[in-house]
Structure 1
Amino acid sequence: MAMIQDAVDIVCNPFTSQELDKGQTGFDRTFMTQVRMPSEMHDGVSMPDYIDKMDRAGIGRSLLIAVRAGDMRMAGSAEIPYDQVAEYCRAHPDRFSGLAGVDPYRGMQGLRDLTYAVEELGFVGAHLYPHWFGLAPDHAKYYPYYAKCCELGIPIMMQVGQNLVYNRKRALPSVGRPICLDQVAIDFPELKLIGIHIGVPWTDEMIAMAWKHENIYIGGDAYAPKYWPPQLVHYMNSYGQDKVMFGTDWPVIDPERAVKELEAMELRPEARAKLMRDNARKVFRLPESEAK
């Protein structure tokens, strides 16, 4: 099966020595070992080296997350500043677009930050980690941010399903049941909601939400494709082919490995193109880009 040469990775975390040195990743070396990250990556991967990986995998564009992982007044929280991600995007505008992390405890300043990220920095969407805040996706504290996303015309992605222990100093509860998107989709029908990390162990619930609601999508990331549940593969290869988008959650999953495993799947050509490229371009309103 021919590789898609201009794929889009919708979930990508900056993971250079800069993020590690500044303590901006939110996870420790125990987590790196748990997800079987190669030891040579433990000190970060430079952007030029990551772009080389993109090229070998046929990925034209990656969406970089300016993550806000928890209330920064609490020990163990982490963030990557919007401007830091914007620098990567400005340096490689044909390869990267930014996603603005959401922290519901920042109130009006958080809403102003989100507006700045989209209108001034050119970010194409928002990103939320519900478990870092201990609040399920349908909590009222997120609603002003959902409304602002509607005003700005951007989608928002959020982790659904379980979460791991990212840092042994602070374990977080798994609050992101996919069913929690149900009421949000009803209250904000024009807001595109993307449940990333495929909803494990509630993948059937995630599929049900994407099937029920026109404005709910699934991010296929954080798990190696060869381990994706068969019901998800069936969904994206049939009646759900317009609702699933490729991602890696780099550095959790290596893009070369992910693409290779997806190439081995028996997917219809139109379903493969939508998964790897077309759905993301439509949802995030991305410019066309190609791997060099």
Structure 2
Amino acid sequence: MRAIDFHVHLPTPEWLDQTLAGYTEAAERYFRSPVSRQSLKDVARQYEEWDLVGVLLAWDAETATQRPRLSNEYVAQAVADFPGRFVGFGSVDPLKGAEAVRGVERIAELGLRGVKFHPSIQKFAPDDERHWPIFAKCQELGLPGLFHTGTSGIGAGMPGGQGIRLDYCRPIRLDTLAAEFPRLQVIAAHFGYPWHEELLAIALHKTNVHIDISGWAPRYIPESVVSALKGRLQDQFLFGSDYPFIQPPRCLDELDQLGISQQVLDKVLRSNAERLLQI
């Protein structure tokens, strides 16, 4: 296994044309990368060719978007159908309250390894105490929380950003969460740009905060983030692509050009993720 890709969306019609209906086109323009629809079998074949394990992400923002979710059961079945190739993260809609707490329990029952949140799309603030029973349940069940942080390709370049508020995804909101739930492993996706310095400070302060570098071609990652990855935070960084918007082979090739030692690269590509996922 070359690496664990910690941030994989499924380019299936179920996600692109139903769950993400009306958002896909703006994201394609933002990433300058048209996305072709593929089957689960096609995705599994690609990840096998690349010698990668992919962390597949479910999606539930029904309340805020009025669009159907990509269900936890769908992702769990994908993991079961392609053993050893995929790991799954479920999703719950925080605006559903007690139903979301029960959803976390269901995620654990399905054998999924964590919970994906997108505060800007789901329209909730992680530091709002009304949602904390969800995170308490994640902590109780040992399920890491993966949070979109920073700007968003979804809604980018559109009037009002298609109603998507970036402030919900500012990293400082996760600082409160990590402090209140010290046994909850918090993963900040996309390193929080343009608030990446804020996120680096949080991760230096709290060892239960981790950073994935998905959503960026590595050659464009800010120097301060690369420096932290090479240095004091090397045990808290995770490789991710944001597939299908960015192709994993490009990310891996560009990472190799950043002067990262093999010892650190092994942590970022594999061992940090293996520890979090308990594999």
TM-score for the superposition, normalised by structure 1: 0.88
Larger relative contact order (CA 8 Å, sep ≥ 6): 1
Aligned with 1:99: secondary structure? strand
Give the direction of change, closer, same or farther, for the CA distance of 1:30–1:182 in structure 2 (3 Å limit): closer
Superposition RMSD in Å: 1.8
Number of the residue aligned with 1:53: 46
Aligned with 1:256: secondary structure? helix
The answer on 1:188 being equivalent to 2:184 is no
Separation in structure 1 between the aligned mates of residue 73 and residue 206 of structure 2, nearest angstrom: 34
Specify the code of the residue in structure 1 equivalent to 2:146.
Answer: M
TM-score for the superposition, normalised by structure 2: 0.92
The answer on 1:214 being equivalent to 2:225 is no
Number of the residue aligned with 2:266: 273
Within a 5 Å distance, the mapping from 1:244-255 to structure 2 comes to: 244-255=237-248
Separation in structure 2 between the aligned mates of residue 30 and residue 258 of structure 1, nearest angstrom: 22
Number of the residue aligned with 2:134: 145
Residue-by-residue CA offset, 1:8-34 (whole Å, 9 max, x unaligned): 01111111234334x123523232122
User: Any unmatched runs of 5+ in structure 2?
Assistant: none
Separation in structure 2 between the aligned mates of residue 150 and residue 263 of structure 1, nearest angstrom: 35
The answer on 1:89 being equivalent to 2:91 is no
Specify the code of the residue in structure 2 equivalent to 1:116.
Answer: R
User: Any unmatched runs of 5+ in structure 1?
Assistant: 287-292
Shift of 1:177: 1.2
Give the direction of change, closer, same or farther, for the CA distance of 1:180–1:18 in structure 2 (3 Å limit): closer
**8 Å contact from structure 1 (residues 117, 123) kept in 2:** yes
Which residue of the other structure, out of 99, 103, 108, is the alignment partner of 1:109? 99
Residue-by-residue CA offset, 1:173-221 (whole Å, 9 max, x unaligned): 1021111122211111111101101110011111111111011110110
The answer on 1:172 being equivalent to 2:167 is no
Separation in structure 1 between the aligned mates of residue 45 and residue 254 of structure 2, nearest angstrom: 19
Specify the code of the residue in structure 2 equivalent to 1:142.
Answer: H
**8 Å contact from structure 1 (residues 165, 171) kept in 2:** no
Which residue of the other structure, out of 25, 29, 36, is the alignment partner of 1:29? 25
Separation in structure 1 between the aligned mates of residue 273 and residue 245 of structure 2, nearest angstrom: 20
**8 Å contact from structure 1 (residues 179, 206) kept in 2:** yes
Give the direction of change, closer, same or farther, for the CA distance of 1:242–1:233 in structure 2 (3 Å limit): same
Residue-by-residue CA offset, 1:228-280 (whole Å, 9 max, x unaligned): 11111111111111010001111121111111111222111111000000001
Identical aligned pairs, as a percentage? 29
Aligned with 1:67: secondary structure? coil
**8 Å contact from structure 1 (residues 17, 45) kept in 2:** yes
Residue-by-residue CA offset, 1:63-92 (whole Å, 9 max, x unaligned): 1111113xx244454420111111111101
Aligned with 1:105: secondary structure? helix
